[in-house]
Amino acid sequence: MTVIRPFRPVLRVAADADIIVIGSGMAGMVTALRLAPRKVTLLTKTPCLTGGSTAWAQGGIAAAVGAQDTPQSHAVDTMVAGAGLSDAPTVDLLTRDGAKRLCEMIASGAPFDRDQAGEILLGREAAHSSRRIVHAGGDATGRHLHKWLADAVAQTPSITVQTSAFAWDLVVENGRVCGVVAFHEQGGWTLHKAPFVVLATGGSGQLFQRTTNPAEGTADGLAMAARAGVKLADLEFVQFHPTALVDPKAADGASMPLLTEALRGEGATLVDGAGRRFMVDEHPDAELAPRDVVARAIWQRLVDGDGAYLDIRAIMAGDSAARFPTVKALCEAAGFDPAREPIPVAPAAHYHMGGVATDDCGRTSLEGLWACGEVAATGVHGANRLASNSLLEGMVFGHRVADDIAAQSVPAPRDLDISVPAVPATDVAAEIADLTAQLRVLMYEKVGLRRDGDGLDAALSAHGDLAEKISEIERAAGHTKPTLADVRRWGELLNLALAGRLVTLAAAQRCESRGAHYRIDFPQAEAATGVRQFLTLDDLQQRAGAQEGHRDDTNTAAALSA
């Protein structure tokens, strides 16, 4: 008789590195490059360096590099978009350092678009008072810059890139991060020991049924930090891009292509199904109003059954058409001719202003841990991100994180006792996928563009039910020999579920409307609540305990009355 023995996982130990950087977007690669010649291991769960949201960015980088522009003007625009929650000193730092860093990048040969005279072309986007957006390859800025950075990383001997490596959790001993446990497609479970770890894992767009984010935007860094007890900030503020393309042929829940903000900067208009332009009645800046205003206006037309369309026919017929090859290709792939018809659009989760709370050097509340890029909450975005400030933030704070780490003394190495997690076998893949889909629908419907107390309470209750279902799968899981797909599927569900509960809790606790956070039951901004909100995993657990106590009391009362 054949005896089936459970797989006994082995945790291999990778060669020591000075710094672990998790994530290969703008922030992660800039950090790694800036740290040279320090020994850096860069982990990414994607098969190559060109994964993540940076490569998807159609918008450019905003910075005051034009002759008529100033960092102070850029700072004012950023503060206005942030709806009273942006941290003024950090915004000043972003816009001042940003102009300098972008000039350095231009001087080093980054492939930015230029006019026939060789001057950098400057575009304008919503809520910017000046033309200050630089692009590369028109509306393919992220792809061009990401490749340029990836080429530089590949040519830097001090950086070891580990692709197809899913960072599972931070290793913390005596109040300090000491490394990362990751699963590698080739090597399996691996301990990466390092005295310094940088989270540059991107955002959490896959929390929502409709999103512009790539498949890997699953809140991994946010969840890892939360489990380690790190302080988080501003989680309720999720920006929905107003104009994601509605592709009738796309699978349900698939990432939605965005139609860049720059189109409206060049004169594109929003119309309803009758062809009537509606943003002129919503805001003095019409189509150039802040993103949350535009997104809610579009959402209302869709709820009312009027439809919402982006009309870019004038752009496609004019000299600007050459600047938007990606948009043209996306529309045609979805079966639309942008030169002849308006394009159907809908709001989709795009950028998370909240994340791991950091100071202006990217330090978190956990010693040895830094964060930069979308996973970090630096305070610059406040309640709503100004268009094209995200790549800028990754660039500026990638530099600042690297410089801060380089100035640190290296602590003595520690002996670590690490257990390997159990991952459910492939035979429950369909159940995991179904739970993930349920979570995404829940978040889009109850914690999306329009929120209210009853919906948020219902969402918190549903999160509790989802957590119990996840626990049931976890209890049944044995130590099998997982594949990378198994680990990613399970790990991403755990991360999304935790991040979703935290975002919902933060939204329930902010009883006002501000920026991207809109409460139907509290439609006005309140001066008394116009402060940033910080929380930890302990806050979520206390709320869950209070809910459970309330349920027990209700059940007891019902039993006594019976």
Tokens 């000299």 sit on residue: 319
Q: How far apart are CA 80 and CA 128, in angstroms?
A: 10
Report DSSP letters for 219-281, one per residue. Answer: -HHHHHHHHTT--EE-TT-EEEEEEEE--TTSPTTPPPPB--HHHHHTT-EEE-TTS-B-GGG
Q: How far apart are CA 205 and CA 57, in angstroms?
A: 14
405 touches 145 (CB < 8 A): no
Q: How far apart are CA 78 and CA 73, in angstroms?
A: 9
Q: How far apart are CA 122 and CA 135, in angstroms?
A: 8
> Would you state the structure tokens that stand for residue 448, as one six-digit string?
């999306």
151 touches 29 (CB < 8 A): no
| CA–CA distances in Å: residue 163 to residues 41, 44, 48, 177, 496 | 10, 5, 6, 22, 22
Three-state DSSP class for residue 517: strand
Three-state DSSP class for residue 290: coil
Alpha carbon 423 to its chain centroid, in Å, reads: 25
Catalytic residue among 132, 264, 291, 440: 291
Q: How far apart are CA 106 and CA 117, in angstroms?
A: 16
1 touches 474 (CB < 8 A): no
Task: Name residue 531's amino acid.
Answer: V
Q: How far apart are the first and last CA of the chain?
A: 56
> Would you state the structure tokens that stand for residue 14, as one six-digit string?
């990778």
> For residue 409, which phi and psi values (nearest 5 degrees)?
-80, 145
464 touches 197 (CB < 8 A): no
Question: Smallest Cα–Cα separation from 525: which of 84, 37, 65?
Answer: 84
Residue partners of 544: CB distance under 8 A and separation at least 6: 464
Pairing mode of beta strands 19-22, 61-62: unpaired
| CA–CA distances in Å: residue 308 to residues 239, 252, 303, 319, 438 | 19, 19, 10, 26, 26
Question: Smallest Cα–Cα separation from 225: which of 551, 11, 534?
Answer: 534
Question: Is there a catalytic annotation at residue 291?
Answer: yes
Three-state DSSP class for residue 399: helix
Q: How far apart are CA 449 and CA 266, in angstroms?
A: 26
391 touches 61 (CB < 8 A): yes
Catalytic residues: 291
